[in-house]
A and B are shown apart, each in its own frame.
Chain A
Amino acid sequence: MTDEPGGLIHPELRSERNESPVGPAGQRLQHAEGTSQPLRSKIRERQPRGAEVNGRRPIDHEAAAARFIAAPEHEKMHDERLWDLRSKRDAQMHAIPEWEELRELASQIKQHTLAHLDEYLEQFEAAAKANGVHVHWATDGAAHNRIVHGILRDHGAKRLIKSKSMLTEECGLRDYMAATGIEVVETDLGERIQQLDDEPPSHVVVPAVHKLRRDVAEVFSRTLGSDPDTDEVPYLAERQREATRPLILSADAGMTGGNFAVAETGSFVVCTNEGNADLSANVPALHIASIGIEKLIPRVEHLGVFIRLLSRSALGSPITQYTSHFRRPREGGEMHVVLVDNGRSARLGMAEFWTSLKCIRCGACMNTCPVFRRSGGLSYGATYAGPIGLILDPTFDKRKYSTLPFASTLNGSCSNVCPVKINIHEQIFAWRRVLAEEHEIPLVKRQMMQAAGAVLSRPALYRAAISTADSALRFLPRFAVYNRWNAWGAGREMPPAPKETFHTWYARTHPAADKGSGDGSA
């Protein structure tokens, strides 16, 4: 029995009933974040929570990932949904002959802009000001939050509606605003679910992908008063729409992020599937956009390259439902742009890591990452999870995120799906070296590697260490992993021990062969 390619690893999640809309020809629609085949969680199960975060203590990704895997319905659904996005992405890629050329262009445009970022920032600022946009500069997250608060305070704003922005997550805007008495309302469905559940987003484009419908039904019944026993998705989405609409209509200010900022026009672009950025920007008279300084691109023509890559890479959808370009405030409106550094200019000076600033936050690396799919985004205990997180997070705090570059098999799939060709897995590898050199890996691990290096560079010592299968089983895994030999046996059988090593066989069957010096001086 052979399943077709694209089949499920967990076929029990396949749903008999299609819940998604169909197109005019009767075809099941799969645009936006929609899955390419009907899936449905079937077993009730408590939602696992993410990593514990304690100050600067290194994040225990493994423990949080183990909790996620111990909730199999969550883990399986998470894995299949994200793999489905990866499969949809592949289909889109195959439909575009110039795909690899687009990736190379996107990479070069970004590298060029980052290498001339001062000029493009000044050009953007001048153009935006000429358009009547107020431009602010924030050196860090705290400064960003103070600036946003100041603008809102000056306008007497009591309620802020906002679309999803990883930058405002990075700055901790919601926590900051909680103390000011200004209400912040997320308008992206996934982000709103996470806000109502007091959890950060677990993924840059699908923030609640780690939750099952039952989890959402529980959150909505607790916070929106929906029927706790109804977990039909259209019902849940409609309850949220109805609950959020009055908040949108009565908001005093709207906030968006920015996917791209165009230097020549002083304009910025926001991509959403829900149209919630357009509501946030177009209903209240005051629009604030928070934009990282690395979001610059030189000209409008370059948008074509990025827009063609972004949603295809992220969701396997040709484009987001809404691609919105903001250049000047509307009649009677007011527009503010906050340009945020928060570690970016310092990252620019890191020779091995500056190209991570090319990232356009599509999440393709998360979707393809086999570790991310099994561990859930919240297991990383950081704003940025998955492969891109492994290389961004240590730039914020080397100690706290010292464990993350080790949460990878270095399989390299992330680099291949990256639409701007960041060598993600090579940077993960490089971070391991930096962390070891700067003593941010556990001492016992380093000592074990010193011992392994000493044995492996002395043939006679090495041969003695693995002379019997028994001693080999003790030495080989130990050099690989310091003191966690039990870790192999917890889920796997031991390899059967052969009666002799290759080396012994060779010596026995080739009596005339040169037997070396034993000290490697050969």
Chain B
Amino acid sequence: MDPRDAILAAVRRNRPVGEHPLPPVPHFAVSEAGERAACFARSLELMGGKVLEPDPAADLLTAYLRGSGLAPPEIVCSAVPEIAGNRDLATVAHPRDLADVDVAVVRAACGVAETGSVLLTEAQLQVNAVAYLAQHLLVLLDPADIVASIHDAYDRPEFHQARYAVFHTGPSATADIEGVLVHGAQGVRSLTVVLLPRQPSSVPA
């Protein structure tokens, strides 16, 4: 028998007795204790991420480098109009060509206050791998795009429309050896979020 039909037939034959109705998922109001943006920042910092307030007096990249203590990067790959990088994502032939990127800059589709997560899809990333191959990731997030909870985040259209949608909550991390936490296990060594409203031109229609 075709394996598909064999598996489905076995599943039907062995169906557990009983009704087992699907329960409705109620709306859980997650406690935010204050401003949503502040709640987001607290959550993200516990997950190893950093949050920067934009400094109107300084250039964004300069402020980021100063705030995160990074050496001036050689290769910056930007997917946002606010920062001009020196590696054009549109010209990347293969994701491995991004292996030398120091800093990648993207804008999040939304943020989640409960966990400090940012949501990214191929629309924001252009090349998905950039968010993992770069050494450091800078994410712009409009405070108006922060939702309260993971439940609320799953109401977003991206999960029905995007090819790839990912919550980043802090940097790549591991504590597989003796429980000692290390940032930059395989992916980015740091993740920094700047709470910066979208430029009028970049608001999706």
Question: In the complex, A touching B, CB below 8 Å?
Answer: yes
A residues at B contact (CB < 8 Å): 19-21, 23-25, 29-35, 39-41, 77, 81, 84, 97-98, 101, 104-105, 108-109, 111-112, 114-118, 121-122, 125, 137-139, 143, 187-190, 193, 206-209, 211-213, 216, 233-234, 236-238, 241, 244-245, 248-250, 265, 267, 273-276, 278-279, 281-283, 293, 298, 300-305, 307-308, 317-330, 339, 341, 345-346, 348-349, 351, 354
Q: List 30 A-B contacts (CB under 8 A).
A: A23-B45, A24-B45, A29-B48, A32-B173, A35-B178, A97-B31, A104-B23, A111-B20, A118-B11, A139-B3, A189-B174, A193-B176, A207-B176, A208-B176, A208-B177, A216-B177, A245-B186, A274-B172, A278-B166, A279-B132, A293-B11, A300-B160, A301-B25, A303-B159, A305-B25, A308-B150, A321-B168, A325-B166, A327-B159, A348-B11
A327 to B166, CA, bound (A): 11
Q: Which of B114, B172, B178 contacts A318 (CB 8 A)?
A: B114
Asked if A276 and B187 sit within 8 Å, CB to CB, the answer is: yes
Q: Which of A138, A281, A349 contacts B14 (CB 8 A)?
A: A349
Assess whether B8 is interfacial by the CB under 8 Å rule: yes
CB-CB under 8 A from B163, the residues of chain A are: 326-330
Asked if A237 and B174 sit within 8 Å, CB to CB, the answer is: yes
Given contacts A31-B170, A234-B180, A324-B165, 11 further A-B contacts (CB under 8 A): A35-B175, A112-B23, A237-B185, A283-B132, A293-B7, A293-B11, A304-B151, A319-B115, A323-B166, A324-B166, A330-B122
CB-CB under 8 A from A233, the residues of chain B are: 177-178, 180, 182
CB-CB under 8 A from B19, the residues of chain A are: 115
Q: Which of B22, B43, B150, B186 contacts A244 (CB 8 A)?
A: B186
A293 to B8, CA, bound (A): 10
CB-CB under 8 A from A81, the residues of chain B are: 178-179
With contacts A139-B7, A321-B170 taken as known, whether A274 is within 8 angstroms of B21 at the C-beta atoms is: no
Q: Which of B7, B15, B48, B153 contacts A21 (CB 8 A)?
A: B48
* Smallest CB separation, A504 vs chain B (Å): 52
* Smallest CB separation, B131 vs chain A (Å): 7
With contacts A189-B185, A325-B159 taken as known, whether A303 is within 8 angstroms of B164 at the C-beta atoms is: no
Asked if B181 and A34 sit within 8 Å, CB to CB, the answer is: yes
| Residue with the greatest number of chain A CB neighbours at <10 A, chosen from B7, B21, B184, B186 | B186
Q: State the main secondary structure of chain B at its contact with A.
A: loop
With contacts A267-B159, A326-B164, A330-B164 taken as known, whether A279 is within 8 angstroms of B179 at the C-beta atoms is: no
* Interface range, B side: 35 or more
CB-CB under 8 A from A244, the residues of chain B are: 186
Q: Which of B26, B45, B48, B99 contacts A25 (CB 8 A)?
A: B45
CB-CB under 8 A from A348, the residues of chain B are: 10-11, 14-16
* Smallest CB separation, B87 vs chain A (Å): 16
* Smallest CB separation, A123 vs chain B (Å): 12
A327 to B159, CA, bound (A): 8
With contacts A21-B183, A77-B178 taken as known, whether A327 is within 8 angstroms of B129 at the C-beta atoms is: no
Asked if B47 and A31 sit within 8 Å, CB to CB, the answer is: yes
Q: Whose C-beta in chain B lies nearest to the C-beta of A13? A: B178
* Smallest CB separation, B6 vs chain A (Å): 6
Asked if A276 and B14 sit within 8 Å, CB to CB, the answer is: no
Q: Which of A84, A116, A118, A320 contacts B179 (CB 8 A)?
A: A84
Q: Which of A111, A248, A321 contacts B169 (CB 8 A)?
A: A321
* Smallest CB separation, A436 vs chain B (Å): 24
CB-CB under 8 A from B31, the residues of chain A are: 97
With contacts A23-B48, A29-B48 taken as known, whether A237 is within 8 angstroms of B177 at the C-beta atoms is: yes
